[in-house]
Structure 1
């Protein structure tokens, strides 16, 4: 494998960043997780726009155009002979004097990392998900950082909030009867400071009740996921009623269907969610989830393979 580091393609075992890099020292960096289908990045403009907003929030003026960044991604995919891939693009202020206050960006650190993924798109054309089956999740005690403390719309290297939420899941792997270990849930669902549902540690949350698709509103501390936006567009095209609002764990517990979204998982159904009270809600077949997943696959097929 070869990665793109500061303008050059280098072998994976030589792809390094200085220990004095502010991205390493302080988490002072922006990133985007993307997915390539058929050699082309999915929803590049939306990802580039969110990356630009993150850099603006950090006052990180890296001086590179969207097309230059896109070119580095293309070069990395081509160098590894990958058409279908996971892509991570990271930008930091680079190496600066060891103090908290940042100075002007002189030489930013820009890294493109890629990994092989299955073909996407319609199953009858060879598309397959990256996951083995529906996910399980648990509502954890870790709360989402308020937007006034750390902008929710900024996708930064400071991911400690999500890490702490995922660490809670290890406690769910407690010994059961007969000493057998129970598998930890796949995702941690966090709430805001008021106890309302926010999102997964690395995903956005959707659920269906009485034929209406619900998702927490961006008025709360929610990362505006690119796949989240695509799902809302698909729901409109499929005439599925949508409500963005404020919801508690009980709303999710009483739902008929639920699923998670991110760039890698796309649309992943939820089979069960353990609430903060320990009660587990189980979800059966999801006709609306299936319709949206089919529409998503068809869009990928049309835009990237046909």
Structure 2
């Protein structure tokens, strides 16, 4: 995204105020820092507006509700995002919004009264859509790791919290396994009983004999917003889409593989555990359809079509 020197020139939104990046701080007694007791969303900004804002906003509320402080999510959160973008003169950006339970006494059991910490962080990215370029330079290589996705009974899978330890451990495994000749871009995580789950920061898709497959929400995965868009685009083209329970061999034997997240969008995969995978026609088509959707929603249309709305489809 951006280096530390460029970050220092930015402005963030902290607890209702626009603050220079080098002055933007939270308390050491904030429960997000102390216990990972917070919710967050990562957004992609195209043409000055968040992509799929409603879906991100709703998931943030669901996570906060799981953590017991749903009322702490400010009603003017979108306005805070817009103000942060305007303060930094950014139309194309990475954006992270965080809401924690705030500063409380240093004990595990939270107080019932919540004075939340709310932060909007941004960093510049390039243009998206048909005329843009992906943030990644090459298709991804993925590698299986030993770190497992915790069962939902231990850590609610659909809650996007500040507790990202499994993903961190998975990425550390990739770092330890890297050599001068090879390093993987993404970790493939399995469940405790060996089922295919997700990447450290992405959802996984693969194509098997013309059918697009991805782990279902019966498996402990975080169902991503971009994942939902990819499924919708595939179904709109009449492709067979199947969510289910899959194994690592299903991924290794696939005809095509790709990852999705808000920053990568749809990123093709060309290697799974050292096994070459082609970038096939379904991956290429879905990538193009995704770009066209962004173009229509945020940049005024494709081939003369009008824009769909500033948020990329509030109900999508």
TM-score range, shorter chain: over 0.9
1:296 to 267, 276, 290: 290
Q: Cα 1:84–1:255, aligned 2, differ >3 Å: closer, same or farther?
A: same
Q: Cα 1:284–1:61, aligned 2, differ >3 Å: closer, same or farther?
A: closer
**Residues 153-173 of structure 1, C-alpha deviations (whole Å, 9 max, x = no match):** 000000011000111102221
CA contact (8 A) 2:142 2:188 kept: yes
Alignment correspondent of 2:92: 84
Q: Note the residue ranges of structure 2 that are not aligned, 5 or more in a row.
A: 1-9, 301-316
Q: Distance in 1 between matches of 2:215 and 2:259?
A: 12
TM-score for both structures, normalised by structure 2: 0.90
For the aligned residue pairs, the C-alpha RMSD in angstroms reads: 0.9
Q: Distance in 2 between matches of 1:20 and 1:282?
A: 48
Q: Note the residue ranges of structure 1 that are not aligned, 5 or more in a row.
A: 175-180, 275-279
Alignment correspondent of 2:129: 121
Q: Distance in 2 between matches of 1:251 and 1:19?
A: 45
Secondary structure of residue in 2 paired with 1:272: strand
Secondary structure of residue in 2 paired with 1:301: helix
CA contact (8 A) 1:91 1:111 kept: yes
Q: Distance in 1 between matches of 2:218 and 2:98?
A: 27
Alignment correspondent of 1:178: none
Secondary structure of residue in 2 paired with 1:75: helix
Alignment correspondent of 2:166: 161
**Residues 51-81 of structure 1, C-alpha deviations (whole Å, 9 max, x = no match):** 1110011001443444x00110000000000
Secondary structure of residue in 1 paired with 2:59: helix
2:139 to 134, 146, 156: 134
Alignment correspondent of 1:95: 103
Q: Distance in 1 between matches of 2:283 and 2:175?
A: 28
Deviation beyond 4 Å, 4+ runs, structure 1: none
1:106 to 94, 97, 114: 114
Shift of 1:107: 1.7
**Residues 185-205 of structure 1, C-alpha deviations (whole Å, 9 max, x = no match):** 000010001101000000000
CA contact (8 A) 1:62 1:108 kept: no
Q: Distance in 1 between matches of 2:218 and 2:108?
A: 30
Alignment correspondent of 1:43: 52
Q: Distance in 1 between matches of 2:37 and 2:73?
A: 17
CA contact (8 A) 1:172 1:182 kept: no
Alignment correspondent of 1:238: 237
CA contact (8 A) 1:136 1:186 kept: yes
**Residues 196-230 of structure 1, C-alpha deviations (whole Å, 9 max, x = no match):** 10000000000001111000011110101000000
CA contact (8 A) 1:152 1:223 kept: yes
2:154 aligned with 1:146: no
CA contact (8 A) 1:94 1:105 kept: no
Q: Distance in 1 between matches of 2:147 and 2:175?
A: 13
2:7 aligned with 1:2: no
Q: Distance in 1 between matches of 2:202 and 2:252?
A: 18
Q: Cα 1:136–1:59, aligned 2, differ >3 Å: closer, same or farther?
A: same
Q: Distance in 1 between matches of 2:29 and 2:71?
A: 17
CA contact (8 A) 1:62 1:93 kept: no
Q: Cα 1:50–1:64, aligned 2, differ >3 Å: closer, same or farther?
A: closer
Secondary structure of residue in 1 paired with 2:72: coil
CA contact (8 A) 1:28 1:93 kept: yes
**Residues 74-111 of structure 1, C-alpha deviations (whole Å, 9 max, x = no match):** 00000000001000000001110110000124321000
